[in-house]
């Protein structure tokens, strides 16, 4: 028995088929050896897609979140990328930097004296540092500490909760403490938040439990900001 194509069937000319196959090749997903790639090693503000690139790969080398890159580039799932496409990988200041400079933090939080900040900062949790601070553009603005889901996250110093939520893209469940007019600390990717906004906390007080919200693995992303700018937490933490 033989079959004939219906009149509604479309037969593509050979050059159209070649073009279609070329498109499929462009969207191939290639294996990447992430063990040999440093996360956040790319520091440019834009990135041109090369053969084999995926959005996850671009997120890895730029140190960004996949959802963040998709949002600022208006990409829809399944995030197919064409060779030669230019992606924006930096949208100015990070969400945390923008939030840290919002006037409502300054106006809604009473002025704290310098004595409010302890002379030494406590480690926010126990574990192994898996990502260090980087001062380069697009680099890691704090330290990432691995651990077990549910282990306690503590306030690194006395302060006041000025943010507790998950509205800042890429940080998951996030807490920001204000210690005085100069210093903030941030605790990201938490599982559960144990404090509320405007609550006063003491150094060493549990404020959250470790999780993986907004991250690929269980970890705490911890930052210290001095006058809105990221500083290396290891220069402040005691021990």
Structure tokens belonging to residue 132: 């260090």
Q: What is the pLDDT of residue 213?
A: 93
Residue ending a domain, among 72, 88, 104, is 88
**Statement to judge: residues 54 and 111 lie in one domain:** no
Q: What's the confidence (pLDDT) of residue 59?
A: 81
pLDDT at 40: 72
- Cis-peptide into 67, omega within 30 deg: no
pLDDT at 239: 56
Examine the fold and report which residue of 43, 63, 88 is the final residue of a domain before the chain moves on: 88
| CATH number, residue 164 | 2.70.70.10
Q: Determine the pLDDT at residue 168.
A: 78
Q: Is the pTM of this model over 0.85?
A: no
Q: How many domains does the chain have?
A: 2
Mark the ranges of the chain whose per-residue pLDDT is less than 70.
Answer: 1-39, 90-119, 238-239
CATH of the domain at 76: 3.10.350.10
Cβ neighbors of 212 (< 8 A, separation 6 or more) are 149, 172, 189, 191, 218, 219
Domain with 176 in it: 95-235
pLDDT value for 110: 35
Cβ atoms of 160 and 178 within 8 Å: the answer is: yes
pLDDT recorded at residue 209:
97
Evaluate whether residue 9 is within a structural domain: no
């Amino acid at each position: 028995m033989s079959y004939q194509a219906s009149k509604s069937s479309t037969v593509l000319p050979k050059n159209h088929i070649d073009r279609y196959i070329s498109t499929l090749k462009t969207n191939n997903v290639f294996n990447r050896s992430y063990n040999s790639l440093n996360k956040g090693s790319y520091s440019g503000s834009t990135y041109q897609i090369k053969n084999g690139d995926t959005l996850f790969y671009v997120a890895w080398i730029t140190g960004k979140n996949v959802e963040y890159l998709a949002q600022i580039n208006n990409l829809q799932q399944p995030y197919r990328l064409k060779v030669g496409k230019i992606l924006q990988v930096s949208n100015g200041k990070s969400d945390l930097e923008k939030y840290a400079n919002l006037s409502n933090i300054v106006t809604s939080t009473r002025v704290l004296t310098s004595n409010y900040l302890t002379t030494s900062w406590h480690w926010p949790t126990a574990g192994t540092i898996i990502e260090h601070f980087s001062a380069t553009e697009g680099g890691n603005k704090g330290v990432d500490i691995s651990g077990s889901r549910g282990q306690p996250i503590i306030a690194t110093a006395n302060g006041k909760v000025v943010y507790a939520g998950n509205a800042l893209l890429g940080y998951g469940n996030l807490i920001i403490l204000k210690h005085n007019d100069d210093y903030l600390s941030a605790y990201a990717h938490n599982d559960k938040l144990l404090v509320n906004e405007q609550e006063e906390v003491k150094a060493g007080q549990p404020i959250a439990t470790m999780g993986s919200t907004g991250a690929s693995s269980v970890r705490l992303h911890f930052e210290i900001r001095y006058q809105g700018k990221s500083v290396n937490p290891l220069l402040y933490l005691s021990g």
